[in-house]
Chains A and B, each alone.
Chain A
Amino acid sequence: MKSKNILIVENKQQDLKLFEYLIGQIHTFDSVSTGKEALIKLSTNPPLLILFSLTITDIDPASFMERVRNQVKDSCEVIALVPTKDDSNSFYLEKLGFESVIHKPIHPKEFLLKIKCLVEKTIEKETQKSTASKYPTILNSASFQQLFRLSSKEVIHQVYKDFEIECDSILQQIDSSMEKITREEFLRSIHTIKGNSGTLGAEKIYEAAKYCEILGKDQKSIEFSNSLAYLKAVILEFQEFLRKNPTVYGA
């Protein structure tokens, strides 16, 4: 499975070709020419963004938005493609839940800029949602699912195995009180485990490593030592979690 597409819903062939050409320069896309086809796409391949032309005749905008919200909740934004320069419908369209309105004929540069901004905004919104839980989790399922969607499962399994080896290494460093390495090297290891844990969705380790890094740089010895004890505890907890959930390893 690849990254989410932009779905173009346009029944005017000339406009469709133009949108496909422009969007193809910045993002992957699917295109359909009826509302019915669009709703099928929603269930088989949920898009990141939908461009919905108001010239579509087999479904009205209000019904389309209702079906979209029922199927994909608010995980994708919908843009209305309006066939005139007339702005009078904009308020009504926004009330229906359209994120934005683009009037035809479009200006290619402005069109692309607007789509780029909306793509970034949607991704950021998704990220905020996935990290909005009150407490960090041992393994954030949204991050884990995202990696599975964008990569092969063999690589993901291997990466989690590698991460566990890295965890073992930092546990050894904590237990040996950094005797064999300099403080700078130790802080670099913590920085690395911070970036890796966060990317892999190991939120508790990420938060603990972030805290250790701040205290370590501030030279607060007692607090740093306490934070290392906490980092060790959450790493052990993560390793126990992996043992109880062997599917993460592909077992």
Chain B
Amino acid sequence: MVREKIKILVGEDSSIIINLTKSVLAFENYEMKAARNGKQVLEMLSKEDFDLILMDITMPILDGIQCTKEIRKLVDTKKNRIPIIAITGNAANHTPEDFRKFGFNDFIQKPLNYDLVLATVKKILS
């Protein structure tokens, strides 16, 4: 039986990070879609199911923290419990406890180390 691919949504406004992440995740057999801002993340999540979200904190229109808070408030219990990993370029601005309070399951710092990104994704999905 062929197992369905795990679907990951990436909220990130940098096309460089999107292309790189998509390629790295594809190498590990994950399927990835991208949203350029928090509003797009919410729109895509309303239309489609994902197994995990990688969410950049700093995005235009609706940032990653606000977007995560909105997701946790959704009525759909499958969607509001989706694991979300924060991606932050300014980790010093927040403590791990802050990230948990915002609703994130874990966080990764930029510059991205893709070995760590993959290990964190695997850890959360397990």
Mark A residues whose CB is within 8 Å of B: 2-4, 25-27, 48, 112, 116, 119-120, 123-124, 126-127, 143, 146-147, 150-152, 155-156, 158-159, 162-163, 166, 188, 191-192, 194-200, 206
Contacts and interface: CB of A to CB of B under 8 A. Distances in A.
A4 B110 contact: no
B96 interface: no
A191 B27 contact: no
A192 B28 contact: no
Nearest to B15: A162
Given A2-B28, A124-B116, A155-B19, 17 more contacts: A3-B28, A3-B115, A3-B119, A26-B122, A27-B122, A123-B119, A146-B114, A150-B115, A159-B20, A162-B16, A162-B19, A191-B89, A194-B110, A195-B14, A196-B16, A196-B17, A199-B20
A199 to B, nearest CB: 4
B16 A27 contact: no
Contact of B23 (A3, A25, A155): A155
A112 B126 CA distance: 10
Given A155-B23, A159-B20, A192 B14 contact: yes
A195 B16 CA distance: 10
Interface in B69-126: 89, 110-116, 118-119, 122-123, 126
Contacts of A191: 58, 89
Contact of B123 (A2, A26, A48, A196): A26
Contact of A127 (B14, B15, B27, B113): B113
B123 A116 contact: yes
Contacts of A195: 14, 17, 89, 110-112
A131 to B, nearest CB: 9
Contacts of B111: 143, 195, 197-199, 206
A196 B112 CA distance: 9
B13 A192 contact: yes
Contacts of A188: 58, 60
B35 interface: no
Contacts of B110: 194-195, 198-199
B58 to A, nearest CB: 6
Contacts of B23: 150-152, 155-156
B34 to A, nearest CB: 14
Contacts of A4: 115
Contacts of A156: 20, 23
Given A116-B123, A123-B113, A199 B17 contact: yes
Contacts of A120: 116, 119, 123
Given A26-B122, A120-B119, A159 B16 contact: yes
Contacts of A27: 119, 122
B42 interface: no
B101 to A, nearest CB: 22
Interface string B1-45: 000000000000111110110011001100000000000000000
A199 B115 contact: no
B10 to A, nearest CB: 13
A27 B60 CA distance: 34
A143 B115 CA distance: 10
Given A27-B119, A123-B115, A123-B116, A155 B60 contact: no
